Amino acid sequence: MPAPEPDWSRLFPDEDYGYQFGVSSGDPAEFFRNQDDSSATLKERRQWLAEDPHRYSAWESDSAPLLQESFELAREWGTINESLENTHADGQILGGAWEPDFLLLHRRGGEQFQLVGGCVCFPSSWRLRDKIGCPLSQIHKPVPGLNKSLGPAIDKYLNHLKPGIAWLRSNWGMTPTSDLNYHPDLNRPPLEKPASPDNVFIRIEDQALVKLPKSDGILFGIRLVILPLNHIMAHKPARRGLARALDTMPEEVAGYKNLTSASSTILEWLS
């Protein structure tokens, strides 16, 4: 079954580039349900986990209740294989059973939510080990202007999440390959000056925030969709929105996204 077409109007609205925390409600079971009928995504996830589990998963001691509750929800949603129904809650098992990456956030002592565990096999140029144990403000610090623009709104929103719903949003970036795993230790190539649209891929991170009522934590899912730039050429609103985003993106943000060298060339193709 092919992946559903992205909501281009939300991903690339016809407006100047800016950070947005707009969310929509969805079904958590639908988000975490496996969609790749070929099982290639799960096969690759299990390969990376077997090769280096400490690179792709990390757990602090207080993540156990959140992980247990995530396992219970996975069973309730029917998003894990029946053979795992009675399995002890184990992060690597769940990381190899779900297609999306997932992170667990917990408020320690009533403070800001912190990252206490997760399994991330397909990171977008970041290390889970560098973020584990950190509050969200520290995790978001490398993103130019994000804390100033959205930090208080994110904290307020997370503190008022309601269970039973997946709150959905998306981010995007660009890479010169369709590789799922862009862990920095693998030295994947950055996007520089592409020769043609065939050498540029839109890397979409569909994200889901799910409240864990028993543990007072949050399950944060990240599902990747990677499409060639040519895919959106026929979608005029998406093409126009992407061009406007690139044209108005601040220099420091373009640098963070590794788009400085490529943006002018891509803009020519989109015009």
The two most distant CA atoms of the chain are separated, in Å, by 55
Selection from 57, 32, 70, 74 nearest residue 117 by Cα: 57
Share of the chain above pLDDT 90, in %: 72
Radius of gyration, alpha carbons of the chain? 18
Instruction: Give the amino acid at 40.
Output: A
Q: Above 70 in pLDDT, residue 2? A: no
Q: What is the pLDDT of residue 3?
A: 61
Q: What is the pLDDT of residues 19-41, one digit of tens each?
A: 877 789 999 999 999 999 999 99
Residue 176 structure tokens: 């010169």
Q: Is the pLDDT of residue 45 over 70?
A: yes
Is residue 11 exposed (0-12), middle (13-18) or buried (19+ Cβ within 10 Å)?
buried
Q: Is the pTM of this model over 0.85?
A: yes
Domain ranges of the chain: 19-228
Q: Which uninterrupted H or E stretch holds 166?
A: strand 166-175
Dist CA 256 CA 102 (whole Å): 23
At 135-187, the pLDDT tens digits run 988 898 888 888 787 777 788 888 889 999 999 999 999 999 999 999 999 99
Comparing CA positions, the residue from 124, 127, 30, 45 lying closest to residue 91 is 45
pLDDT tens digits, residue range 46-84? 999 999 999 999 999 999 999 999 999 999 999 987 666
Where residue 87 falls among pLDDT bands split at 50, 70, 90? low
Closest CA to 230 of 263, 189, 200: 200
Q: Does residue 110 have a pLDDT over 80?
A: no
Instruction: List residues bridging with 201 in a β-sheet.
Output: 175, 228
Q: For 236-260, what is the mean pLDDT?
A: 94
